[in-house]
Amino acid sequence: RLQQLNMGPEALYGRDEEIAKLYETFDQITSSSRTCRGSRMVLVSGYSGTGKSSLVHKVGLEFIERGARFISGKFDAMQQMQPLSAIIYALNEYCNLLAQDTAHIDHIRTAVASALGSEGKFLLYLIPNLRKILPDVVDDQPSADVSGMELQ
């Protein structure tokens, strides 16, 4: 007699060590004093098809439930000509998330504009959702003498 196994997409097998490391990092960040917290980035790498996206999605949802702002990006092998594509994707999503914070958008806009200075116009080319935060920045298309590597 055959029994059916329930192996839904939410189940992760053999990832206990990785999950524990991610939770440990999260706990370290959230237990730090607010002034010392800063931002952290965790990179998950491995061969394609090994469940990295499922792992990130699972812990990401739990981090959000615990009050974190969580973004992720995924390197697409088809976009090898665009270095840092995963980070650019994640930053684009983060800009979208920040733009939704209507209670703090003025403060966010001021802080981002101050941090980026005149370089913001070049980042609009790489990170389109940055326009939601900096709508008044002139969107100069990069000139022909500015290479993609210089933009990145």
Does the pLDDT of residue 92 top 50, yes or no? yes
Minimum mean pLDDT among 3-7, 16-20, 94-98, 130-134: which range? 3-7
Minimum mean pLDDT among 32-41, 63-72, 79-88, 95-104: which range? 32-41
For range 37-59, the mean pLDDT: 84
CA distances from 53 to 16, 26, 79, 108, 142 (A): 15, 18, 17, 29, 33
Encoded tokens for 70 = 């969580």
Encoded tokens for 25 = 């990092």
Q: Work out the percent of the chain whose per-residue pLDDT is above 70.
A: 76
How many other C-beta atoms are found inside a 10 Å radius of the C-beta of residue 144? 6
pTM, 2 dp = 0.70
Encoded tokens for 142 = 């990069």
- Between helix 85-99 and helix 105-116 the angle, nearest 10°, is 140
Q: Where are the alpha helices (DSSP H) in 68-147?
A: 85-99, 105-116, 120-126
pLDDT at position 67: 87
Residue 10: DSSP 8-state = T
For range 116-136, the mean pLDDT: 91
Q: Which long-range contacts (CB under 8 A, 24 or more apart) does 65-74 make?
A: 66/26, 66/30, 68/26, 68/30, 69/94, 69/97, 71/97
For range 43-66, the mean pLDDT: 90
Q: How confident is the model at residue 144 (pLDDT cuts 50, 70, 90)?
A: very low
130 vs 145: which has the higher pLDDT: 130
pLDDT at position 105: 92
Mean pLDDT of the residues in the chain: 81
Does the pLDDT of residue 9 top 60, yes or no? no
| Cα–Cα distance measured from residue 108 to residue 105, given in angstroms and rounded to the nearest whole number | 5
